[in-house]
Structure 1
Amino acid sequence: MTRGVRGATTVENNEANEIIEHTRALVQEMAEKNNIQAEDVSHAFISVTKDVNAAFPAKALRDIEGWKYVPVMCMQEIDVPGSLPKCIRIMMIVNTDKQQKEVEHTFQREAVKLRPDLLERKDS
């Protein structure tokens, strides 16, 4: 069955190298935590806040060994006043046998503020 795996991170500067570096680190941690191989991924959506436009974060996936053919689409996040700035969010759709509550979502850097409830271990 398919499941969505969420991830988010932030950058300090709107610079191409930093955007790619932090996106790559996020994808790699998402994959590691959930035992995801590139062939398990149906597709991924990456959104960025309006202040992140120096590079397409999707480039980071193409640079990861084996991930070249994973379909990825980038888009701008809704510009909600007071929302977390310089944020990159990923929704990865994967084939997995995991139950919904077993999926481990990944939040790095300032993005840990987005969903602290998802970072807690789920016992039930």
Structure 2
Amino acid sequence: MSSIQVADQTFVAAPPAAIAELLGAANNWRRWWPDLRLDVREDRGDKGIRWTVAGPLSGTMEVWLEAVADGAILHYFLHAESTAATPLSPRAQAAANRARRVAGKDMSFEVKTRLEAGRPAGVAPATAAS
């Protein structure tokens, strides 16, 4: 089991292809995870993207897009180990996990905010595929 374990999900009322377009832009990765070096392991198009992670962490990260109703559930996973020379204390380990959960939630809320902008609650996205 990895020391850093994050699993989260957020519903986004937008087509998976629109979400995938935002996820595929490397300039967004540098903003969402500025200290990590991400290499695409598998670009799954409108199903999401998988990366290998390097830098202060070593492991894997994925955003899986599950089409649901008039949008998609954005599933975020990070499984990694610290690359620090000395093991993290339990307190530092908990703080590192929390920081990575917050970064993942910040990413998913940014995607949601950008793609749902101007859409009244309860109204299907204008860009939904027919």
TM-score range, shorter chain: 0.3 to 0.5
Higher strand share: 2
TM-score (structure 1 length as normaliser):
0.40
Give the structure with higher Rg (CA): 2
Higher relative contact order, chain-length normalized (CA < 8 Å, sep 6+) = 1
